[in-house]
Amino acid sequence: MRLLIFFSFLALLLFSACCYQYKTVEKTYLVQTKTAIPNYSDLYYWAAHPYKIDASDSVPAMLMNNYQPDSTVDVFFIHPTTYIDEAKTYGWNAPINNIKINAKTDFSTILFQASIFNEAGRIFAPRYRQAIFSAYFPKNLADSIAAMDAFNLAYVDIKKAFEYYLANHNNGRPIVIAAHSQGTTHGKRLLKDFFDTTNLRNKLVVAYLVGMPIENNYFTKLKACLKPEQTGCICSWRTYKSGYIPEQIQQEKFTAIVTNPITWEIDKPMAARELNKGGVLMNFNKVIPRVTNAVVAGNILWSSKPKFFGNIFYTTKNYHIGDMNLYYLNIRENVALRKMVYLKK
């Protein structure tokens, strides 16, 4: 049994690369005396920023020959939960200046997800006092109230970071919003507050709100993307193993936006793995073509079991952790297409 648990955990690490270079990097982080409240005029409070060298600047070795970064568009990336602690050591929200949590953030989601967009534009990814992972699963009324407060506090930081970005860095540039998991929880609020019914909507190239459901009628003006070249719209999906629909999703009473991240077309809900340009999983420098397929199935996206070294031990039916990584190159190419179309308008 212990051996099985070990190999299951190993496969999870291989698939998510959640601790990629983590132990090495943690030792190089400087212990800094910083306030408990983020100050976004200080680069320390940004996990990714065009004025500093960070993990989002990384490019898989296989893509370097054709790498041509552009700064005419900005990407505001909101990272997923990296504060996962059953003991709630720091309470319901992660401290903004915790070295271990920041290192984990930088060399998991910033490296493996935010880097998808580094050719399309300048990446801004704020650190924020993220809600703890268990806030999504409150056990009682008191937990529910505490969880809501935790998410609200996290959004206060995201909103403040975006306001600072708009006032000091945007200078009229078109914007891509990209987010995953808890990042999407906050990203949908950000779009509602800043884009949906304001003139800033005209500056939105596209929003990739991945890993959490986006109700079709959540926004007033913003709509789902229907074509791969469409701009000013929203792409969203949640990935599970083919044939599997979690019980909580079966009980959903709304219709969610579900984009096929291979075809990007509402009229083409199915795509074979041969059309998958490449995922980036365990080894950041290795792009794995045809890693899996993509099929829209109601409120979710179905994916065949990914093909990668060690996948024999990967038995989960929930592919949430790979929502973006499984379609790394397809997303990279799609944001380039939408940017090109937007700039030609």
Q: What does the pLDDT read at residue 6?
A: 31
User: Which among 211, 255, 204 has a CA at the least distance from the CA of 234?
Assistant: 204
Cβ–Cβ < 8 Å for 10, 313: yes
Q: What is the pTM of this model?
A: 0.91
The pLDDT score that the predictor gives to residue 34 is 66
CA dist., res. 27 & res. 6, Å (int): 26
> What's the pLDDT tens digit per position in 76-106?
999 999 999 989 999 999 999 999 999 999 9
Say if CB 135 and CB 74 are below 8 A apart: no
The most distant pair of C-alpha atoms in the chain lies apart, rounded to whole Å, by 59
Give the per-residue pLDDT at 69. Answer: 93
Q: What is the pLDDT of residue 85?
A: 92
What is the Cα–Cα distance from 89 to 322, expressed in whole angstroms?
Answer: 27
**Edge-to-edge, what's the strand order for the sheet holding 300-303?**
239-241, 300-303, 294-297, 270-271
pLDDT at 29: 53
What pLDDT score was predicted for residue 311?
Answer: 77
Q: Which amino acid is at 124?
A: F
pLDDT computed for residue 33 by the predictor: 57
Q: Specify the DSSP element, H or E, that contains 180.
A: strand 175-180
Using 70 as the pLDDT threshold, list the residues of the chain that sit under it: 1-34
